[in-house]
Structure 1
Amino acid sequence: MAATNIFAGLSLVLDRVSERRDQQAWIAEQATHAGARYLPLDPSGESYLLQDTEGLRWLSDAERRELFADAEVSLLGIAGERPHFLLSLHEGAPLDMLEERLGARRIGLREAGMRLGADEAGLFAYAKGLAHWQRETRYCNGCGAPLRRMSAGHRMQCTNGACARLHFPRTDAAIIAIIEHEGACLLGRQASWPEGRWSTLAGFVEPGESLEDAVRREVAEEAGVRVGEVRYHSSQPWPLPASLMVGFTGTALGRSIDLRDGELADARWFTPEQIAAGLADRSFATPTRLSVSYQLLAHWLRARAGLELDALTAGSIA
C-alpha cells in the first residue's frame, strides 16, 4: 500500500463538524472548552514550533484571551474530543516577543511538513489554507462591498443587503502525473532547480476540463508527449497557497519530446536502472519528499522494478 501523502489523511483524526458551524452557542461553548487548542498563524501563514520537541505550539483559551483577545478565531474541528481552532494573528502583532513568550520559533508549512507528525502537519495545512482564503476574500466580487465572516470562519457574506452574496473557500485543482512508455518514465526539470533534480510534470486544471484531459494537455504542452490512458493515484492538499494536487499515472503513445512552451529546461525518459544509478552516484535528485511527486515516482519504481525509493535515497534528499 502506498504511503499517505504529507498533509493528507486528516479525516482519520479530525471531525470538521461542518454541520455545526452555524450553531453559535455551541461554537462559543467549544471556544471555552477546557481542552480547546488554538493554532496561531501570523499574516505570512507561519505558525510556531516548540523549541525542545517536534510539535506545534498550541495556545490554550486562557493564553489566547491574554495575548490575542481581538484576533479572529475559526473552528477547525474536533480531534481527540478536543476543539481545535485557527487563531489568525493580525498585522503589527508582536511576533518576535511571542516567540520568546511561548518558548517557540516560527515555522513555515514546508518545513513543518518534513518535521511534524502527520496529524499536526495536516492541521497546519488546513489552517493555512483557510487563513489564506480569509485574507484574500475581503470584498464581494459581485458588488465590491465588504464581506463578513460566517459559519465559524468557513463562509463569507456580502454586507450589502441588496446583494448578500455568499462566498465559500476555494481550492485550485492541479494535476501532477508520472507518464511511462515501455519501461521508462518521463521526468522534467526547471532551470531554477538544483542541479540534477527531476520531477513529474504538473499544471493547473482549466475551466471545462476533466482531470484526465488536464494531464494530457499539460504533458503535451510542456514536453510535446501525447498521452493515452490516464489513471488516478492519490491527492494531496497543497495550500501553498491554495491548491489541491491530484496525482495520476499515465501511458504515453510515443517518446518524442518537444519542449515547445519553454516552461521546462529539460525533459527526459528514465528507466528504473538509470534512476537507481543516478541516485547512487548523486547525479540524479528526486523531488522533495514533501510532494506527491515523490510518491508517484516511488509507486512507479516499486511497480516496474521492485525498487524502494526510500532505500535508494537513504536520507539523501530534503
Structure 2
Amino acid sequence: MPDSALDRLLEDREDPAWVAARWEDPSTQVLGVNDRSGVSATPDQDGLRGIRPGGPYDPEHHFLIGAVDGVPWFALAATPEGPSSSLRVLGGVLPETELDIAMTAVAMVNWHREAGFCSRCGTATNVTAGGHTRVCPGCGAQWFPRMDPAVIVAVLDEEGRLLLGHHVGWEDTRVSILAGFVEVGESLEQAVRREIMEESAVALASLRYVGSQPWPFPRSLMLGFVASARGQEVRADGEEILWARFFTRAEVTAQVADGSLTLPMRSSIASRIITAWRDGEIGVEEPAAD
C-alpha cells in the first residue's frame, strides 16, 4: 500500500504552547467532522476541503492531526459550512495522505465524543497532547484513543478460488471476504481460525498476514490475512452469513460485469485484498519443502 506523508508530530504535540501556535499558523488547515462522521470535502467529493481556523485555539475541541509538508492539520467536531462527504464515498478516490488525515480526524473526533469522563473514577477528563490523550484530574489516569482489532481473511481453496460471503442486512448482490473481531485473550491467528470456522465451517491449513487498515466505524483496526482452506465444503452459519461459496476469478469478473455481484467499496482493505487476488498477486502458496 502507498505510504502516507502525514507527520503525526509525536514529540511536538506534547507542548501545549507549540500546538496553540500551530493553530495560529497562516497555513493551518482544519477538517470539520459532522455528527454522521462526514468530513468537509470538495464540491465534486473527490478531495478534502481544508478550512481556515476560526476563533482562538481551544485545546478541548481543536485536535491536532499532524502536518503534511509543514502544513498543520486539525480536526474539529462541527457541521462544516459548504459540502461534506462520508469516508465511504471519499475513501475510493482520496490519495493515501488525505485518506490518512480523514481517517484520523474521524477517529479522534468520535473518541472525544465518548471519552469525556474517566472510566476509573467518573471525573470529567481534560484534553492534552493536541487531542491525543485525556487526563483525569481526579485520579491522574491517562486515557488514549481505543482501536478494536478485527481480522479480515481471504480464504483460498486448493484451486485458488476465493471464499466470498453475503452478510445479513446487505443488499442482495453484495459479497465480501469474511471478517470478525478479536476476542479478549485471543491471538490474531486464533481469531482468524475461529471466525472462519464459525461463519463458514471451513478449517484452515495455513495463513499469513498481508496488511492492515484503520477503520473508524466506530474504532476498528482491520488486520488482513490470506489463508488456505482444508477442503472445499462451505456451510454458512445462517446468522451473520446467509450464504458463502468459493468463486473463480472468471466467475467474479463475469458476475460483477452483469451486476449479479457487488464487491466492497474501493476504500476498504477488503477491496484491496480482493483486487490483489483478481490480479494474481495473491494465490495458493506452494507447500514448504521438507
> Which residue in 2 is equivalent to 1:149?
127
Give the 3-state SS of the residue equivalent to 1:268 in structure 2.
Answer: strand
Alpha-carbon separation, structure 2, partners of 1:78 and 1:193: 38
Query: What's the CA shift for 1:40?
Result: 1.6
Alpha-carbon separation, structure 2, partners of 1:299 and 1:55: 25
233, 256, 277: which one pairs with 2:210?
233
Q: Does 1:176 align with 2:166?
A: no
Query: What's the CA shift for 1:77?
Result: 1.0
> Which residue in 2 is equivalent to 1:45?
37
> Which residue in 1 is equivalent to 2:261?
284
Query: What's the CA shift for 1:189?
Result: 0.4
Alpha-carbon separation, structure 1, partners of 2:130 and 2:21: 13
Alpha-carbon separation, structure 1, partners of 2:29 and 2:245: 48
> Which residue in 2 is equivalent to 1:266?
243
143, 146, 171: which one pairs with 1:167?
143
- Where does the alignment leave 5 or more consecutive residues of structure 1 unmatched? 90-94, 307-318
Distance 1:112 1:152, change over 3 A: same
Alpha-carbon separation, structure 1, partners of 2:90 and 2:258: 29
**Letter of the structure 2 residue corresponding to residue 134 of structure 1:** H
Q: Scaled by the length of structure 2, what TM-score is found? A: 0.89
Query: What's the CA shift for 1:118?
Result: 3.0
Alpha-carbon separation, structure 2, partners of 1:165 and 1:71: 17
> Which residue in 2 is equivalent to 1:76?
65
* Per-residue Cα deviation, 1:112-138 (whole angstroms, up to 9, x for no partner): 213433322221111000111111111
Distance 1:71 1:51, change over 3 A: farther
**Letter of the structure 2 residue corresponding to residue 253 of structure 1:** R
The 5 Å alignment of 1:24-173 reads 24-51=16-43, 54-61=46-53, 64-65=54-55, 72-89=61-78, 95=79, 99=81, 104-160=82-138, 163-173=139-149
Give the 3-state SS of the residue equivalent to 2:83 in structure 1.
Answer: strand
Q: May I ask how many residue pairs the two structures share in their alignment?
A: 282
> Which residue in 1 is equivalent to 2:11?
19
* Per-residue Cα deviation, 1:240-261 (whole angstroms, up to 9, x for no partner): 1211111110001122222236
Distance 1:192 1:65, change over 3 A: same
Q: Does the 8 Å CA contact 1:46/1:109 hold for their aligned counterparts? A: yes
Q: Does the 8 Å CA contact 2:167/2:240 hold for their aligned counterparts? A: yes
Q: Equivalent pairs: percent with the same residue?
A: 34
**Letter of the structure 2 residue corresponding to residue 81 of structure 1:** G
Give the 3-state SS of the residue equivalent to 2:280 in structure 1.
Answer: helix
Q: Does the 8 Å CA contact 1:221/1:260 hold for their aligned counterparts? A: yes
> Which residue in 2 is equivalent to 1:316?
none
> Which residue in 2 is equivalent to 1:205?
182
Give the 3-state SS of the residue equivalent to 2:278 in structure 1.
Answer: helix
Q: CA RMSD in A?
A: 2.3
Query: What's the CA shift for 1:168?
Result: 0.8
Q: Scaled by the length of structure 1, what TM-score is found? A: 0.82
- Where does the alignment leave 5 or more consecutive residues of structure 2 unmatched? 284-290
Alpha-carbon separation, structure 2, partners of 1:256 and 1:51: 48
Q: Does the 8 Å CA contact 2:60/2:127 hold for their aligned counterparts? A: no
* Per-residue Cα deviation, 1:249-302 (whole angstroms, up to 9, x for no partner): 000112222223621110111122322332343322222212111121122222
